[in-house]
Amino acid sequence: MRPITLGGFGLEEEGGSLVAVMLLNAPPGLRWIEFFRARGRYSSFDVAAARSLRNQLRIKPPRREDLGDLIQTVERCIEGANLDMEFHAP
């Protein structure tokens, strides 16, 4: 499997709440998502609760002003999940 990368991001309103939509270069597998959530478990953002839909990760940021920090955190979690996939490859 090729490494997952962040291809873009956006903001959407969902039920009156702000949702950050992180676009990935490819749909991640279940194992990659588990590694991603494990990496995000100790984040100041709720990265571990990210919802995955095809090649999107959807995360509720606390405030619009936190989007820059959220993107950096997600990038670190993506890199970590890629390393975990590589390390745990058969």
pTM for the whole thing? 0.90
Q: Which residues pair with 18 in a beta bridge?
A: 13
Find the length of the chain.
90
Summarize pLDDT for 16-35 with one digit per residue, the tens. 889 999 999 999 999 999 99
Q: Which residues pair with 9 in a beta bridge?
A: 22
Percentage of the residues of the chain whose pLDDT score is greater than 70: 99
Q: Per the structure block, which two tokens stand in for 38?
A: 């494990």
Sequential pLDDT tens for the chain (90 residues): 689 999 999 999 988 889 999 999 999 999 999 999 999 998 889 899 999 999 999 999 888 899 999 999 999 999 999 999 999 877
Q: State the sign of the Cα–Cα–Cα–Cα dihedral 38, 41, 43, 47.
A: positive
